[in-house]
A and B are shown apart, each in its own frame.
Chain A
Amino acid sequence: MSDETILLGAVAYDAKVVTIWEGIREHFNNEGAPMDFVLFSNYERQVELLLKGHIDIAWNTPLAHVRVRERTDNKSLSLGMRDSDQDFHARIIVRSNSGINSLKDLEGKTLAVGSRDSTQARILPLHFLRQEGVALEKVKLLKFDTDVGKHGDTGTSEIDVLDALADGRADAGAIGDLIWVNEQAAGHVDANLIQSLWTTPPFDHCMFDALPGLDTGKLERFKRALFAMKWENPDHRRLLELEGLKVWMPPREEGYDSLRAALANPTP
């Protein structure tokens, strides 16, 4: 293996991750951008080994991305994101018979939330609720800390939230809009029982991160091969669909401001 090979880190939150990165590796190699990947079991390890220079690029969740930015004094390189990573939202959903008609009504009720490291099902929904004036100390939180380390990628804790509403353990819940819409489309949500009460402000999701000292050749080859992936190409489309995007987008940082603010002033 030559030194020109880009070594990319990703977290194995699902079996399809292997298929995705095997396919992207083949595409990169065909584009003259030799690449290999390393799979981690959690984002904390991936971030540490990126910072130590053991991998060149990390495919990071928003929480991992913000940590990399912070640990590098904002000097890390943000390389690209999915179209679907931009303007992500979380939802506050409620049981129809809960008597919750406004966010203030959450006080005194049980709110189910996802894993403590899930941006969309815990960190940002609680941050935005506090911004809206909800006294979180008056809300009973039912916490589902499942798959900690995966930063909510598996969606398991969000399914736990939906289950808690369905069986009445919770009056309300916080989940990402990806799971909310997908579970509705799959017919897994009883629309007579569970409804959407509120949509949070938008925030951005995953990002490719690298250290500022990344070899310029690797950097340019990575960006060229990544943005050469086209939905119109059936070979590319298969991978893009698996990874949940239509087009790779240039990076932007403003979509992480709310997460930075939330981490600076943690909620319960």
Chain B
Amino acid sequence: MAAMEVSDPLGHLNYSTKNEENFHFINAKLESFKETSACEWIQ
């Protein structure tokens, strides 16, 4: 079965490690989740 081409609803999402472009955004987001989510393992 060949996958049919369809518009990708996930095409706008970024998936990457921290880099110069996203560094401050991701750090700020992680800080905001500190008290509500179990994400200490990322720090």
Tell me, yes or no, whether A binds B: no
Q: List B residues at the A interface (Cβ < 8 Å).
A: none
